[in-house]
Chain A
Amino acid sequence: DVKVTQSSRYLVKRTGEKVFLECVQDMDHENMFWYRQDPGLGLRLIYFSYDVKMKEKGDIPEGYSVSREKKERFSLILESASTNQTSMYLCASSLWSTGQGGETQYFGPGTRLLVL
């Protein structure tokens, strides 16, 4: 079974703190993704990575950065947390894609982040 794990299920941080969210997958997938999910807005892509040290901005990258030093690990960094970054963060992975949408994404359990 594919397993995607996230470092925390719940996290409470203060405004201005640097926050690290970690994601690890055990299926040797090339692609990894970070989304945030908010009520009424659905899943929005923050960043994705298609190889070690490679990254691409998604739809809402502002205020976030990412790191992928090893194939199995993809970190999301909130440089200076703000209250509008309170959300559910979901990590996913998939095999390398031809770009036609045939590769399934496997999601982690999510991290619910509260920024005070």
Chain B
Amino acid sequence: SQKIEQNSEALNIQEGKTATLTCNYTNYSPAYLQWYRQDPGRGPVFLLLIRENEKEKRKERLKVTFDTTLKQSLFHITASQPADSATYLCALAPGSGNTGKLIFGQGTTLQVKP
């Protein structure tokens, strides 16, 4: 069956360090993978999208990699700050012809300590 998995355990790191979050999927062949940030009590907010033919994408302190052989995406936040504390969700399309549906991972909560 199709699955998208993120580490359900919270990730605690010290301010200034690099946070690395993992998204693994099985039985999908996504053309894109997206990452969202969600703060408590709020809706998710889009951060980055990476295409299957891109190995890496950067935006300011954020970096996403996409390995279609390993079926894995890594999300990095460099020089992390307490304001980066949030839940991060990965998402991908379940297949062709689905008119925009995304399947979301359960999210990993990141806590950055000062």
A28 to B104, CA, bound (A): 24
B-contacting residues of A (Cβ < 8 Å)?
Answer: 4, 30-31, 33, 40-43, 45, 48, 50, 56, 58, 88, 90, 92, 94-110, 112
A-contacting residues of B (Cβ < 8 Å)?
Answer: 8, 30-34, 41-46, 49, 51, 89, 91-93, 95-102, 104-107
Check B92–A101 contact: CB distance below 8 A: yes
Which chain B residues lie closer than 8 Å to A98 at the CB level?
96
Shortest Cβ-Cβ A-B pairs, 6 listed: A101-B93, A107-B43, A97-B100, A42-B106, A100-B31, A31-B100
Which chain A residues lie closer than 8 Å to B45 at the CB level?
107
Q: A42-B104, A99-B95 are in contact. Are A104 and B42 (CB under 8 A)?
A: no
Q: Which residue of A lies closest to B97 (CB)?
A: A99
Which chain A residues lie closer than 8 Å to B97 at the CB level?
99
A-B contact pairs, 10 of them (CB 8 A): A48-B101, A58-B101, A90-B43, A99-B93, A99-B99, A101-B32, A101-B34, A104-B46, A109-B43, A110-B41
Most buried by A among B42, B97, B101: B101
Q: Which residue of B lies closest to A30 (CB)?
A: B100
Check B96–A109 contact: CB distance below 8 A: no
